[in-house]
């Protein structure tokens, strides 16, 4: 299963290390940045599933980073973690384009629950579905490799990959995939055939087999 990548933007070294350990232990891949400039560079050159962002950064207010991202068309979801906890602060964060706002000190359980909810909402609304370091671009109907090169997909290949990529932690039976991605007249064998096509185009890890159950999303290579 692809590992969601998170960017933690926090200048407090101790807190940044704690968050990295916590999130890594929960199965996420964590990248850290200590200021807004390096965070912006990472977000404009790489793909992450979400950002955990402090407001008080050495080079300015973290909300300025959120505003710049949104102006550039970057829709990566942002969870603001901050000591600024008034209603006005929360409103400012949401108005700047952040999806959620959590005040320090925070409960670890609440942080993880909010992050899970944020990632679920983002996958439901996304036009770019991550698959490892590559992704499925729904707007163009293309798959994108980690190096940025694109792969043309047929309509059926795209539909099948979308079903899998929207629920990356779920294993689908062949019957479920036939019902959701194929015409009613298609047989179960069509599922296996198109899984083969996707692996041939995107690498063997693009679709994972769960023996005795079915298939789930993997990583584009």
> Tokens at residue 61, please?
């207010």
Q: What pLDDT, on a 0 to 100 scale, did the predictor assign at position 47?
A: 75
1 has pLDDT over 80: no
Dist CA 209 CA 129 (whole Å): 20
Q: Which domains does the chain carry?
A: 5-125 (3.40.50.2300), 129-217 (1.10.10.10)
Check whether 84 has a pLDDT greater than 50: yes
Mean pLDDT across the stretch 167-175?
87
The whole-model pTM stands at 0.58
Per-residue confidence (pLDDT) for residue 82, from 0 to 100: 86
- 21-45 tens-digit pLDDT: 999 999 888 999 999 999 988 887 7
Residues 163 and 180: beta-carbon distance below 8 Å: yes
Q: What are phi and psi of 193, to 5 degrees?
A: -60, -45
**In the predicted structure, residue 192 carries a pLDDT above the cut 90:** yes
User: Has residue 140 got a pLDDT over 90?
Assistant: no
Selection from 4-8, 136-140, 207-211 with the highest mean pLDDT: 207-211
Q: What is the mean pLDDT of the chain?
A: 88
Is 61:53 a contact under the CB 8 Å cutoff?
Answer: no
Bond prior to 105 in cis (omega within 30° of 0): yes
Q: Per the structure block, which two tokens stand in for 83?
A: 């000591």
CA-CA-CA-CA torsion sign (138, 142, 146, 147): negative
- Per-residue pLDDT of 44-83, as tens digits, reads 777 788 999 999 999 999 999 998 888 877 778 999 998 8
Distance CA 13, CA 32 (A): 10
pLDDT at 122 over 80: no
């Amino acid at each position: 299963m692809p590992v969601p990548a998170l960017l933690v933007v926090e200048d407090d070294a101790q807190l940044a290390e704690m968050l990295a350990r916590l999130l890594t232990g929960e199965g996420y891949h964590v990248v850290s940045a200590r200021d807004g400039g390096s965070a912006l560079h990472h977000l404009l050159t790489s793909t992450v599933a979400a950002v955990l962002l402090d407001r008080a950064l050495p080079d300015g207010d973290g909300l300025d980073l959120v505003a710049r991202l949104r102006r550039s068309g970057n829709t990566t979801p942002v969870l603001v973690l901050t000591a600024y906890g008034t209603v006005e602060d929360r409103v400012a964060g949401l108005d700047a384009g952040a999806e959620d706002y959590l005040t320090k000190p925070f409960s670890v359980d609440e942080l993880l629950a909010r992050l899970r909810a944020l990632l679920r909402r983002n996958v439901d609304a996304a036009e770019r579905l991550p698959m490892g370091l590559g992704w499925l671009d729904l707007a163009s109907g293309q798959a994108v490799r980690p190096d940025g090169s694109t792969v043309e997909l047929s309509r059926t290949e795209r539909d099948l990959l979308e079903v899998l990529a929207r629920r990356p932690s779920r294993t689908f039976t062949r019957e479920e995939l036939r019902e959701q991605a194929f015409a009613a007249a298609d047989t179960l064998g069509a599922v296996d055939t198109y899984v083969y096509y996707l692996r041939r185009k995107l690498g063997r890890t693009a679709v994972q087999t769960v023996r005795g159950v079915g298939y789930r999303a993997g990583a584009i290579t």
